[in-house]
Homo-oligomer: A and B are copies of this chain.
Amino acid sequence: MSIARLARHLGLSEGTISRALNNYPDIAKKTRERVQKAARDLGYRPSSSARRLARGVIETIGFVLPTCRTQHSDPFLAEILNGLASELARHDWDLLVSAVPEGQDEIEVIDRLVSSGKVGGFVIARTYRQDARVDYLRQSGVPFVVQGRTDDPSDYSWLDIDNEQAFVDAVTYLRGLGHRKIACLGGDPKMNFAWQRRCGYLRAMAQQGGHIGVGYLIDGITDAVSAKNATAHLLSISKSDRPTALLCVTDAVAIGAMQALNGAGLTVGRDMSVMGFDGLPIGLAVQPALTTLHQDSYEIGREAGRMVLELCTSSATSPSPSPRQTLWQAKLTPRASVNPPGTSPAQQNQGG
């Protein structure tokens, strides 16, 4: 079904059809309604390629999937994409998702999408402290929004969780319960979210006079398995120096840690408190339920969508609109895996 067919069918010109469907004011009300009804009845919808070509717009946002093929699948990805795509759909924009095939690099992929006019804007996630994608996009002039930040986040648009503050809050919370010996399982320090959390831990411990024992801060823990091993290692510390609380860079890491503690015959939430970050659903099911810092990935995706849309529409008029930067707070969610040190079972936190 093309506009030509519809025009012939109604005895009108193509231009009139187009203007009627696009609500131009110079079309008689009766005509407009007749056209719109016919279009509905015949299931006509303008070809998006033709429309975009004629109007010179793109109306598509690109998203490049993180390349962690074999790795632990990003548990948020589904929700972020859902939020992002939902928001875009509200304005009839599309989301083009691209992978990085083996042997190519991410910049090539982005560049191809941009220069072939397939996407008019970008959202990127899993941001590194130094991120080649951000560098590329910054100089390319393409509107983009970063979920996360780089080390130098001044002159582009991003949306991030306040990871540092969240870990400060976490330390404060633990200290408020009486914990003094707090260890930290940190992630890949090249990823900025992990780095920021690490910074928050260090800052809060320094400011609040906490004791960072030897081996209390372990970097490079990216999944549950490495967390399990690291925790087992942590337990080799003599009992008097052993931490009473364990702050983990993600829920997955926290769960790995919990398993190691269980395996060593310790009871999480009594012999050692464990705290995660993310708010994964599984945190509610583990024993005990995991205290965590919650972030809403769906809403993050939506907000990223809003931001990139705003950027694209405003960059259509002004050449380089001022960056829009948003910082959200994670929500500390107390459950049963954190309790005051030396808590007996009867006193335990019953949250969950």
Residues of A within 8 A of B (CB): 1, 43-50, 52-53, 58, 63, 65-66, 69-79, 81-86, 89-90, 94-102, 109, 111-112, 115-118, 223-225, 227-228, 252, 255-256, 259-260, 262-263, 281-282, 284-287, 297-298
Contact = CB atoms under 8 A, between A and B. Distances in A.
30 contacts: A44-B115, A45-B116, A46-B116, A47-B116, A48-B116, A48-B117, A49-B49, A49-B52, A49-B58, A66-B78, A69-B79, A73-B76, A73-B77, A73-B297, A74-B78, A78-B78, A82-B99, A85-B97, A86-B102, A89-B99, A90-B101, A95-B97, A95-B99, A224-B282, A225-B285, A252-B282, A255-B282, A255-B285, A256-B282, A262-B287
A162 B221 CA distance: 35
A98 B85 contact: yes
A261 to B, nearest CB: 9
Nearest to A282: B224
B101 A82 contact: no
A296 to B, nearest CB: 10
A260 B289 CA distance: 11
Contacts of A82: 65, 69, 99
A227 B285 contact: yes
B98 A89 contact: yes
A78 B73 CA distance: 6
Nearest to A90: B101
B287 A259 contact: yes
A259 B72 CA distance: 21
Given A69-B298, A86-B101, A95-B98, 4 more contacts: A65-B82, A72-B282, A73-B76, A86-B100
Nearest to A67: B82
A36 B47 CA distance: 30
Contact of A79 (B53, B73, B86): B73
A224 B98 contact: no
Contacts of A70: 298
A89 B52 CA distance: 22
Contacts of A76: 73
Given A259-B285, A287-B259, A65 B48 contact: no
A1 B117 CA distance: 10
A44 B117 CA distance: 11
Contact of A101 (B45, B89, B96, B285): B89
A256 to B, nearest CB: 4
A262 to B, nearest CB: 5
B228 A285 contact: yes
Nearest to A102: B86
Contacts of A297: 73
Q: Which 4 pairs, one residue from A and one from B, show the smallest C-beta to C-beta distance?
A: A224-B285, A85-B99, A259-B287, A73-B78
A317 to B, nearest CB: 22
B117 A47 contact: yes
A97 B52 CA distance: 19
Contact of A77 (B77, B96, B259, B286): B77
A109 B116 CA distance: 26
